[in-house]
Amino acid sequence: MTDESALELHERTADQLFEVLGSLKGGVMKFGQVLSVYEAVLPPEISAVYRQRLARLQEAARPEAEAVVHGVLAEDLGADWRTMFVSFDDEPVAAASLAQVHRAVWRDGREVAVKVQYPEAHADLLGDRDSLVMVMGWFTRLVAPALDGRAMAEDLMDRLAEELDYAREAESQRAFRAGFAGSPEFRVPDVVWQQGRVLVSEWVGGTPLSAVIASGSQEERDRAGLLLTRLMFDAPVLCGRLHGDPHPGNFRLFDDGSLGVLDFGAVYRLTPGTESPLHKWMRIHLAETPDELLRTLRDVGFLRPGVRADAARLQELFAHSGLPAHSETFVFTPDHLRETVRRMTASMPVALSLAFPPDFVHAQRSLGVGIGVLCQLEAEVPFQAEALRRLTGEWGPPRPRPR
């Protein structure tokens, strides 16, 4: 296929994608956030096609009428809900397909963000599930055939259903705030109030990470990349959880170099005393010989007992994706992500011998999106040192490998 015909194919695909997504409600914006990370595996001229259509999709989201939002607030907070605020801005600062956010001043004078879920969010999400799974499977087969788009979409929709539970989100937000309490590097907003479909949190300013990606200095990109990496590896240890939705819209970079962390609806809870999926990922990629790799894969559950595998070809499969684990510092780029996906595609026959443990399936989207954001930032990060700090520090050494 020529470059020109490939571009035409992607333009037609992007238009069809936008048409389908534009007709849906539940989960559309979150789906768009995931698709935006896929752009990194495409050549720049083609990714621009999807970026333009996705921007139109974002702009097409219209907030609910004031009366609808006020109705939810009255039902869940009480008819006198306005007395809980010194002021409440009826114009939302952000709108998505399941909820919108309003800026307000709480009764104690704190600036707050008020997240209000749409009354039909749950029904819309369930109604759109099959269509979204189909679209994501179709899109993935075109841009990244090595990835199981249908499985990723099903996991995404399951996590979205959890995001409708604001009591669960508030619990996760409190866990992250407690875990990073006193840290000069991370700002997690306090939960001010939660009831029903309403979640009130402290307001977080800063520069959106999307703006850093678009026009930030290299120093800002590297700082954001370092903190995102620390968040990935520290949260399982300090909070017992993994942020499940690390797209750029959920982070803010401050002038003092700290990172604001938002949106705890998609959070993976880890079983106490078990090894984090991210540490399993590091152990796999740090294996120095084919035999050591096989032992590690069996130890962490990627190779079931009795399953035979080509150790040398498996090591080739992990060689490129594991480059960050073998470098003192690593520069994440879109080219790195594209090459990783290309090699995964070329190695599909050997990859079929692997099985994803249940805990790793749930963490895969977080890890994949997180690395995708690092590549969007084009950040230089001491990735290996950050991971090993937790592998050999508070988390303890890796579990003994069978001999």
- Give catalytic residue positions: 245
Integer Cα distance of 58 and 119 in angstroms = 21
- Which residues make Cβ contacts (< 8 Å) with residue 78, sequence separation at least 6? none
Three-state SS at 117: strand
Closest by CA to 153, choosing from 20, 57, 28, is 28
Kindly report the number of other CB atoms within 10 A of residue 4's CB atom: 8
**One-letter amino acid identity for 156?**
L
Kindly report the number of other CB atoms within 10 A of residue 230's CB atom: 20
Residue with tokens 């979640």: 199
Residue with tokens 């026959």: 349
Compute the Cα dihedral for 265, 220, 55, 334 and give only its sign.
negative
**328 DSSP assignment:** S
Integer Cα distance of 257 and 51 in angstroms = 28
And the tokens for 14?
């992007």
Integer Cα distance of 403 and 192 in angstroms = 52
**243 DSSP assignment:** E
Integer Cα distance of 29 and 161 in angstroms = 14
Integer Cα distance of 325 and 74 in angstroms = 51
DSSP characters over 206-238: SEEHHHHHHH--HHHHHHHHHHHHHHHHHHHHH
Tell me if 73 sits within 8 A of 52, measured CB to CB.
Answer: no
